[in-house]
Amino acid sequence: MNLAGKTALVTGATDGVGRLVAHELARGGARVLLHGRDAQKLAAVRDEIRAACGNDQLETLRADLAALGEVRALAADVIDATDQLDILINNAGVGSKSAHGAGRETSRDGHELRFAVNYLAHFLLTELLLPTIQRSAPARIVNVSSAGSIRSTSTTSC
């Protein structure tokens, strides 16, 4: 797929699906804005993708999606970095297990952590970037989810 001239933002680009998608977008020739929480991991992934794909159009954007203020800052950074956003991949997420086994965790804003990161952050980011995405039409927004974020109350199996 030829993505030359296209700009994409991938949230959660330092691991898993986000990392794979970022590689593929870069391999296709897109300018890729890589988002993550950890600046060192972002730099390592950027360098890894650059070496593997030969694409120098890679930029890193650090933000913790558990804080809506940082989501707003991320959107502002994207808007400052580009006037074109052809692809938004809302991929970053928090899994169902508590990091410390403490049960319910909250975001910096006081919301349940998984709801804050997996839903509120992506909704806000998309809303803030929507004018840029609309100007880039035809553009795409892809929301990534996992079966781990869905709880079943059924006791039957397939």
The pTM assigned to this predicted structure is: 0.88
DSSP secondary structure of 66-98:
TSHHHHHHHHHHHHHH-S---EEEE-----SS-
**H-type helices in 8-145, by residue range?**
16-27, 39-53, 68-81, 113-115, 121-135
Other beta carbons within 10 angstroms of residue 89's beta carbon come to 24
Mean residue pLDDT of the chain comes to: 89
Give tens-digit pLDDT for 12-61: 999 999 999 999 999 999 999 999 999 999 999 999 999 999 999 999 99
R_g over Cα of the chain: 16
Task: Give the pLDDT band of residue 100 (cuts 50, 70, 90).
Answer: low
